[in-house]
Chain A
Amino acid sequence: MLALCVLVHLATIIYAVRGGLTAAEILARTRGSVAWFAFYSLFVLAIVVHVPIGLRAVLGEWLGWRGASRDVVLFFLAAVIAWSGMRAAFGVFL
């Protein structure tokens, strides 16, 4: 799911930015698009699931951090990612 989102995101950006693009031009095209908002909401969901799980393994293997404290911190990280990701999606598409 995440791989698919990344590919669509990259392809769309590369296509849209041909010949240069300003923030105002981007927002003029993306605002009001419920379909793209839905797509990017799924992207945020995939990231919120994938990143903390992956980071959990890395923290355990490289810092030796295990136990409940690691999971608590990663839960808050997931919440921060969800909040900032959805804030961006709202800002760009709605």
Chain B
Amino acid sequence: MRSDSTLMVRVWRGGAEGAYQAFEVPRHASQTVLDVVTHIQRVLDPTLAYRFACRVGMCGSCAMTVNGVPRWTCRTHVDKAIENENEITIGPLRNLPVIRDLVTDMSGFFDKWARAKGQFQGGRTRHDDIARVSPESESRKLAEAGIECIGCGVCYSACDVVSWNPDYLGPAALNRAWTLVKDERDTAGTARLRAVAGDAGCHSCHTHMSCTERCPKGISPTAAIAGLKREVAKAALKGIL
């Protein structure tokens, strides 16, 4: 039961195997889910493992599954989380191996980033002039739309294709690859297109748009992946893929 002064919270404990543990937490005005988790760990059960850093919605470290939805817990108001429910259920992000409790192993997420050739590859040295890129150019505007990604993993957790296809590179890795495809300074060219084509790449996206719906930075990985599909198709038709 929830009264106005306490909150019922269920938190995942354990690894891949485990169970939800119930806690009763004091309710305050202007309380975030991260506040709730912090209270549990500091006051009720110091063995709870969780991640956070900035606690002001900039770093993405506090991402967890709140009532079935991947969110930044520092930016999730308790009032919003319990809108249609009587209690809050907090678990680790989906689609990632659980280390313990609310902490996941994100190395696979970043490995896929590398496999999508999500690193900038430049053609100039420190002895060359600085590249002049117009912020008004079409390709720069498209790159800018996806450039603010901080690798929090919310989109990756929201994506059903990631859960159905373990090889799928995922929205974040593909979005980053797109920003580099649109970066006129980048020299990776068709090697990157080859990296994002195929079963593990952009063609497995079904345009569910869960990633776009959940991205806390307002990025649309769906649009980026659609762009990659077009670029890959063009390259394939030209025979250069």
Interface residues of A (CB under 8 A from B): 57, 60-62
CA distance A26 to B189 in the complex (A): 55
User: Does B21 touch A at the CB level, under 8 Å?
Assistant: no
Q: How many A-B residue pairs have CB under 8 A?
A: 8
CA distance A60 to B199 in the complex (A): 10
A79 to chain B, nearest CB (A): 22
Q: How large is the interface on B (under 10, 10 to 19, 20 to 34, 35 or more residues)?
A: under 10
User: Does B204 touch A at the CB level, under 8 Å?
Assistant: yes
The 3 closest A-B pairs by CB, nearest first: A61-B164, A61-B165, A60-B165
CA distance A65 to B164 in the complex (A): 11
* A62 proximity list for chain B (CB < 8 A): 164
User: Does B90 touch A at the CB level, under 8 Å?
Assistant: no
Interface hits, B44-76 → A, CB 8 Å: none
* A57 proximity list for chain B (CB < 8 A): 204
Q: Mark B155-188, 1 if CB is under 8 A from A, else 0.
A: 0000001001100000000000000000000000
Q: Mark B194-230, 1 if CB is under 8 A from A, else 0.
A: 0000010000100000000000000000000000000
A-B contact pairs, 8 of them (CB 8 A): A57-B204, A60-B164, A60-B165, A60-B199, A61-B161, A61-B164, A61-B165, A62-B164
* B204 proximity list for chain A (CB < 8 A): 57
Q: Which residue on chain A has the smallest CB distance to residue B166?
A: A64
B198 to chain A, nearest CB (A): 12
Q: Which residue on chain A has the smallest CB distance to residue B206?
A: A57
CA distance A57 to B165 in the complex (A): 9
CA distance A60 to B204 in the complex (A): 11
CA distance A62 to B165 in the complex (A): 9
CA distance A13 to B28 in the complex (A): 65
A62 to chain B, nearest CB (A): 7
A61 to chain B, nearest CB (A): 4
CA distance A57 to B161 in the complex (A): 10
Interface hits, B81-125 → A, CB 8 Å: none
* B161 proximity list for chain A (CB < 8 A): 61
Kindly name the residue among B161, B164, B204 whose own CB sees the greatest number of chain A CB atoms within 10 A.
Answer: B164
CA distance A61 to B199 in the complex (A): 11
* B164 proximity list for chain A (CB < 8 A): 60-62
CA distance A61 to B204 in the complex (A): 10
